[in-house]
Structure 1
């Protein structure tokens, strides 16, 4: 399969730029590979779209969540498969696909899959009239944390999310939220809402722990009105997925959902800002072709 390696040289504080050569060498051992570099979202989206239009069999992304999100938009509904080699802060789609988080190990996995023409298909979530998302769309407290993370340059990785959470706790406030599905609705004062095609966001937090990107459904997690002390008690459970057992947390599973309410919340999806509520979201079955390890080679706990 002819492949295009799309690189954000700024990702991982320059890690992607340093690894572009070795990653390309792995891929060239099994396929014809073109390397394209883009350091902005606009250029990345244009290059991803161009690669798909020119008939690339695989679009290999070496970068962070922003670059992955642009690649998802380009590959959705096409014959081009997306491969993710993680070098960003969150790397949540890579986690969902069971990819190794070491970039060179991930490159070897991608090369092996290309050599055997091994491609899987997953669902995508999408806002009506908006963009696709592969992982989680969130609004409320967690989207504010995401916005702060995007503004921060230090520290890296999970600690950046942890620090952003502590900063946003100072302004914690519940707001009106209505969640409508084909089976009914919830109207409540809420701290946050997350809609998951996959389980993780925020660099490995299983906010929708049972979400499966192959079941044709979106998992919805709603955290109701809580105090700072309550939320601090919930946060440690987030890393294990046990937050869903807390009485302030409700979960739903649905093929479509409308989020609304007088809250002014800006939604983030795949770690990128989208639009303010109200939003109508739907799961689109088998919308994205992806490269992922063979089931026996996936990281423990991944679908």
Structure 2
């Protein structure tokens, strides 16, 4: 087996970097570590490894590293393994994979030995600006996307405090946006502060925003909250950890194969990564991922 290992040593605040030699040993003798100093370089190396015919690509890191790996393997038939080593690991958790890195590496090695893969849906998003990207977890196009966008512009503070500051500042600036949405061609227009499209259930380290989303049903789950005030929006957050927010009368849920979404001044984020400004078209692609899982 020729295995390419895409590893992010900074994932999980660097706590897992020392495990890399043990992970490599567990995966087998023919493992090439793809070391890169930027996301763009990592994406290029992963794509090249798949194009050169590696038997499997394994991503060791958080949702961001997995996201980069998906760009390389989606729709190719190349097997994909995940060794969760980030902070949230939402995609891996919702797929039922081991969350402890060494156990996850053993599970990947076992699936490789058995030739066991599981077909998993992915979502493909295309922007009017020509952007094309795959995602496995959730696309945010409301409040959470604005928080990410603001946090990315900040230079201070560092770490989690930057994200917390971005939340506060976005709450101060909170206002409904006017959206146009088409679900399998059926159009609706509405005002909202929170819009999310899920292939799997959660984002942000366990917020089950698209509770009930099944990555094997060929459908995307769409969650829309009506215009809410600051206190009401924050009141939904603890419910979203349990997935019970979808029963709130101010929250609507839908399912569709293709979601078209437009709103002025909104930038979409998926798997926690910046994608592109709206408008976007998001399509569920059944079985686009060959996941190494027994």
Any stretches of 5+ residues in structure 1 without a counterpart? 295-303
Q: Which residue of 2 aligns with 1:300?
A: none
Q: Distance between the aligned counterparts of 1:25 and 1:84, measured in 2?
A: 15
| Change over 3 Å in CA distance of 1:135–1:40 after alignment to 2 | same
Q: Which residue of 2 aligns with 1:15?
A: 15
* Alignment TM-score, normalising by the size of structure 2: 0.91
Q: Which residue of 2 aligns with 1:269?
A: 270
Aligned-pair Cα RMSD in Å? 2.0
Moved over 3 A (4+): 147-153, 159-167
Alignment of 1:25-174 (within 5 A): 25-28=25-28, 32-128=30-126, 129=130, 130-148=132-150, 153-155=158-160, 164-174=166-176
CA contact (8 A) 1:6 1:48 kept: yes
CA contact (8 A) 1:90 1:203 kept: yes
Q: Offset of 1:280 from its aligned partner?
A: 1.3
| Change over 3 Å in CA distance of 1:39–1:97 after alignment to 2 | farther
Q: Which residue of 2 aligns with 1:255?
A: 257
CA contact (8 A) 1:161 1:202 kept: no
Any stretches of 5+ residues in structure 2 without a counterpart? none
Q: Distance between the aligned counterparts of 2:19 and 2:166, measured in 1?
A: 29
Q: Distance between the aligned counterparts of 2:96 and 2:122, measured in 1?
A: 17
* Alignment TM-score, normalising by the size of structure 1: 0.88
| Residue deviations 1:167-218 (CA, integer Å, cap 9, x gap) | 4322211110121112623311100210111111111111111111111111
Count of residue correspondences: 287
Q: Distance between the aligned counterparts of 1:27 and 1:149, measured in 2?
A: 36
Q: Offset of 1:225 from its aligned partner?
A: 0.1
